[in-house]
Amino acid sequence: MTHTTSGHPVLSVPPAAPAEAAAHFRASLAFHTDVSDVAAALASGGDPGFTLVDSRSAESWEQGHIPGARHLPTALIPEQAGQLLDRSMPVVTYCWGPGCNGAARAALALAELGYQVKELLGGFEYWAREGLGYETWQGTAHRAADPLTAPVAGACGC
């Protein structure tokens, strides 16, 4: 069955062919991960198989960061990544949240240095909004989950 566009913007450009769509989404997953998947990997108790890097400023790091993350501000990556990160271990970068491209800039800097890297979608903002614990300069903190980001027991079920 062939569908035609009805003049509305959703189908003004037809969807890609299934094989093209599969390639696109496979590629997207090679570049991105999400808060729930990182939380599950970190909670598994063993080696998660990646290094989590917070690329924000020292002030932001102290305000709150994901437990187990390493602090490496984007501007310092060229001079410090080699001392702080194992090149054989994939890196997941994060910054504040979806309105910030700091994690993408950090991921670019690391990729240019030869690291395998993914960006954490949602960043620290969505980590906190999903009700996951975080560390501050004062100790461990936790907020109630925002029902719009974690509608069912802390996970969307996808």
| pLDDT values of the chain reduced to their tens digit, one per residue, 158 residues | 555 556 788 889 999 999 999 999 999 999 999 999 999 999 998 899 999 999 999 999 999 999 999 999 999 999 999 999 999 999 999 999 999 999 999 999 999 999 999 999 999 999 999 999 999 999 999 899 888 886 665 456 66
CA-based nearest residue to 107, from 92, 89, 122: 92
What's the sign of the alpha-carbon dihedral 83, 127, 98, 41? Answer: positive
Contact 115, 85 (CB under 8 A): yes
Distances (CA, A) of 18 to 1, 22, 23: 15, 6, 9
pTM listed for this prediction = 0.88
Q: What share of the chain is helix, strand, coil (3-state, %, to 5)?
A: 40, 15, 45
What's the sign of the alpha-carbon dihedral 47, 49, 52, 53? Answer: positive
Domains of the chain with CATH codes: 30-132 (3.40.250.10)
